[in-house]
């Protein structure tokens, strides 16, 4: 079996994001998203990627009854004579699924069978907002592509090399043993992808590198990577911990919850909404759009200024903490929307770290570009890189790898 076309899907409660990869030519053939599934009016946006890199876009509006209907309509567009890129859905070699939480059961990408589905269900209490949707995507894709292997790529898998001293919380040990309360970490697919790209760029084996990878999007996290393996990460049992994010608070005093309940009369649901949806940058200055916040800061907005200082100070503290955990550092990597496109943020995060061997070149940092860029100064002992992440491509690569390994093992 030649693995040429991998269909990658990320299923949400009311959406399906997808990309079809032509692995033979290492490129995206089509991408898009079905949104507002099950609502009064849905939107399906589909892009066919042309040979010159440009795209041909088609937008359909109307009711998308459920995820089965949504995925069927996506398949219709993929095989449409004008907007499609394949002639038959049988051309799809495999379907790769992003699954948010694999718990401790999965340390790597896995071909989906009944045991895997059961394990994902077991982990629903750890990711109640995501794993049910991911399972729905697996079920729907399995019915529409019955002859194509389904593969799960777990957001948590990359972090399963974290040692117990880093993932345990200082609470009664039986809560870890019985209820699996521990640090898991997220954004693992992104951290894995950019660490591999950093090794390629630096011309060194990943297994010989110590890296700190900084994923800054609306969600944000940092990973400490020793000899190619993750040894710590900022997100915890849930994606709320760690850095200040677009709408999430990141680290707070755990007793804050009791204060909010006892003194402000907030319910657990209200506290959860506050910390996940109304805090972070949005809570501090009214918006979670980094471009807008920087503009407001430049215009003299005091709240925007302090929000950026809090945001970057938290990142800077974790860089220091992970430098200490790793004991030596070869590379510092910025990635995701803010990490890739906000030189001011990168500059604030690295300011004053020259004693740690981290020093960026202002001109290189402010220079725009699409690929991997090195922004450290010539005297910097640590390489500072900007690497565009591509979680969907990583999912496709992982899907191809595990299926080919399975075929080889059977032959």
| pLDDT in the model for residue 153 | 92
Of the candidates 88, 70, 54, 56, the residue with the CA atom closest to the CA atom of residue 17: 70
Question: What's the CA dihedral at 192, 193, 195, 201 to 10 degrees?
Answer: 160
Q: Is residue 210 part of a domain?
A: yes
**Owning domain of residue 147:** 5-154
Q: What is the pLDDT of residues 213-238, one digit of tens each?
A: 999 999 999 999 999 999 999 999 98
pLDDT at residue 2 greater than cutoff 60: no
∠328-332-337 over CA atoms, to 5°?
A: 155
Assign 293 a pLDDT band (cuts: 50, 70, 90). very high
Is residue 168 domain-resident? no
- Structure token pair of residue 210: 């110590």
Whether residue 84 is found in the same domain as residue 220: no
User: Which pTM value belongs to this model?
Assistant: 0.90
Q: Are residues 368 and 243 in the same domain?
A: yes
By the 8 A CB rule, do 398 and 96 touch?
Answer: yes
Residue 386 has what pLDDT? 97
30, 7 contact by CB (below 8 A): no
**Is 401 domain-assigned?**
no
Q: Is 92 inside a domain boundary?
A: yes
Please write the tens of the pLDDT for every residue from 223-282: 999 999 999 999 999 889 999 999 999 999 999 999 999 999 999 999 999 999 999 999
* Same domain (yes/no): 369, 222: yes
Contact assessment for residue 253 and residue 261, using Cβ atoms and an 8 Å cutoff: no
Q: What's the structural domain count of the chain?
A: 2
Task: Decide if 229 contacts 159 (C-beta within 8 A).
Answer: no
Catalytic residues: 155
- With respect to residue 400, please indicate whether it lies within any of the assigned structural domains: no
CATH number at residue 69: 3.30.420.40
């Amino acid at each position: 079996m030649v693995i040429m076309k991998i269909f990658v899907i990320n299923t949400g409660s009311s959406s399906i994001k997808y990309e079809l990869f032509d692995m033979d030519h290492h490129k995206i053939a089509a991408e898009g998203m079905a949104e507002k599934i099950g609502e009064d009016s849905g939107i399906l946006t589909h892009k066919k990627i042309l040979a010159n890199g440009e795209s041909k876009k088609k937008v359909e509006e109307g009711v998308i009854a459920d995820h089965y209907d949504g995925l069927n309509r996506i398949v219709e567009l993929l095989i449409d004579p004008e907007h499609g890129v394949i002639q038959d859905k049988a051309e799809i070699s495999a379907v790769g699924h992003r699954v948010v939480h694999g718990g401790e059961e999965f340390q790597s990408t896995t071909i989906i069978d009944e045991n895997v589905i059961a394990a994902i269900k077991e982990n629903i209490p750890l990711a109640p907002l995501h794993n049910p949707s991911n399972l729905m995507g697996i079920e729907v894709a399995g019915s529409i592509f019955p002859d194509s292997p389904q593969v799960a790529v777990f957001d948590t898998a990359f972090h399963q090399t974290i040692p117990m001293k880093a993932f345990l919380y200082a609470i009664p040990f039986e809560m870890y043993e019985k209820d699996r309360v521990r640090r898991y970490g997220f954004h693992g697919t992104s951290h894995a992808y950019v660490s591999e790209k950093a090794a390629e760029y630096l011309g060194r084996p990943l297994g010989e590198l110590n890296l700190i990878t900084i994923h800054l999007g609306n969600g944000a996290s940092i990973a400490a990577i020793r000899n190619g393996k993750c040894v710590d990460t900022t997100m915890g049992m849930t994606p709320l911990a760690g850095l200040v994010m677009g709408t999430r608070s990141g680290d707070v005093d755990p007793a804050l919850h009791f204060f909010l309940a006892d003194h402000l009369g907030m319910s657990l649901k209200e506290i959860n909404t506050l910390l996940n949806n109304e805090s972070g940058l949005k809570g501090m200055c009214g918006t979670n759009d980094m471009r807008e916040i920087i503009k407001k800061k430049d215009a003299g907005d005091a709240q925007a200024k302090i929000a950026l200082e809090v945001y970057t100070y938290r990142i800077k503290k974790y860089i220091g903490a992970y430098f200490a955990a790793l004991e030596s550092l070869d590379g510092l990597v910025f990635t995701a929307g803010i990490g890739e496109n906000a030189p001011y943020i990168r500059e604030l995060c690295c300011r004053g770290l020259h004693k740690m061997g981290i020093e960026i070149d202002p001109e290189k940092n402010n220079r725009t570009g699409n690929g991997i860029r090195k922004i450290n100064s010539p005297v910097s002992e640590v390489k500072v890189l900007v690497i565009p992440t591509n979680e969907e491509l990583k999912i496709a690569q992982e899907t191809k790898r595990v299926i080919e390994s399975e075929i080889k093992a059977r032959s």
